[in-house]
Amino acid sequence: MRDFNIDFNKVLKPVLIIYAVFFLAGIAFIFIPSFGINLDINFSGGTKLAYSYTGDIGNEDIEASVEEVIDESFTITQSTSLAGDTKTFEITLVGKNSVSAEKQEELTQALTEKFADNEIALYNSNSVSPNIAGSFFVKSIVAVLITAVLVVIYVGIRFRRIGGVSAAVTALITLVFDVLVTFFTCIIFRLQIDSNYIAVVLTILGYSLNDTIVIYDRVRENERLNPGMEIGELVNDSINKVKIRNIVTSLTTFIAVITIVVVSELFGLSSLRTFAIPMAFGIISGGASSLFIAGPLWVIWKRHKAKKAAAAGKK
């Protein structure tokens, strides 16, 4: 298995086409009414009420009861504990919509009376003002941007012998691809973009960067051993020597995350879904981008720079 070789420079275009198709699909889903960008109240403001209950209650029945008390638009999410002994549903009002303490009491009383046999009880209530939510959202974006800047600085310094700036920029481009994959995954699967998503993004940035650094390390070593080798051949040989390592690492992590996805789907654990599903797609993208995009893009950069240098020398 270690003997098969891939011409990674030739597969760059098909891989970019696959990414482009996925991104265009994600953009299209944004404009579909039942999909769109679904921000958690921590990012957009609003109120989230969580109730526990026993027995079985249909979503439609809950919606009908809530509509009698609350005029604003809302969503309802039901879930079951891993042991199966606790059932809950969450009522979420996003944006400027909020529920006053009086309305919460009125709603709780209405639900308790309507579903008297289901032992309904309010166990969590959380309200976030739009201003505070906006501030938290900005801080989260700043955290991601700072991470990206540090990535460029770190890669630029570590690989300055082989062209640190170009290596850093191509690594950053692959990270942007990975972040977009996780974002559009949330859109397509109708997942809330919450604090879990920020954790996913930061994790994928580190994970994907590690795979890319492994490749650049091998390129640096190969350049030292084969100083006269053409840049495309040098990078391709380097990627082929580490591809099994990268694939196995990605596959092992992916299996672990898929296990979490299965558990979250079986038990309706929305808090796990918003982490595990984008993480699974991010791992796939992180492994693919480090192999098929970072190196080949760097080759294009270096060849273009060499052509410009040659043209300037002729003048």
pLDDT digits (tens, 9 = 90+) for 83-96: 556 788 888 887 66
CATH topology assigned to domain 12-30+132-314: Multidrug efflux transporter AcrB transmembrane fold (1.20.1640)
Give the pLDDT mean for 11-22.
95
pLDDT recorded at residue 81: 65
d(CA 121, CA 127): 18
Q: Percentage of residues in the chain with pLDDT exceeding 90?
A: 33
280: nearest Cα among 193, 212, 173, 186? 186
CB atoms under 10 Å from CB of 246, counted, come to 20
Give the pLDDT mean for 244-253.
91
d(CA 224, CA 55): 69
Q: Token pair for residue 125?
A: 């209530």
pLDDT recorded at residue 91: 86
pLDDT recorded at residue 1: 44
Q: Token pair for residue 307?
A: 């052509």
Average pLDDT over the chain, rounded to an integer? 86
Domain boundaries, given as residue ranges, for the chain: 12-30+132-314, 46-128
Measured between its terminal Cα atoms, the distance across the chain in Å is: 49
pLDDT digits (tens, 9 = 90+) for 171-224: 899 999 999 999 999 999 989 888 899 899 989 988 888 889 999 999 999 988
Contact present, 197 and 136 (Cβ < 8 Å):
no
Whole-model pTM? 0.84
Confidence of residue 82 (pLDDT cuts 50, 70, 90): low
d(CA 169, CA 218): 18
CATH topology assigned to domain 46-128: Alpha-Beta Plaits (3.30.70)
The pLDDT of residue 3 is above 70: no
pLDDT recorded at residue 95: 66
Give the pLDDT mean for 126-137.
80
Q: Which residues contact 173 (CB under 8 A, 6 or more apart)?
A: 293, 294, 297
Identify the residue with better confidence: 5 or 294. 294
Identify the residue with better confidence: 126 or 19. 19
Burial 5-29 (b: 16+ CB within 10 A, else e): eeebbeebeebeeebeebeeebeeb
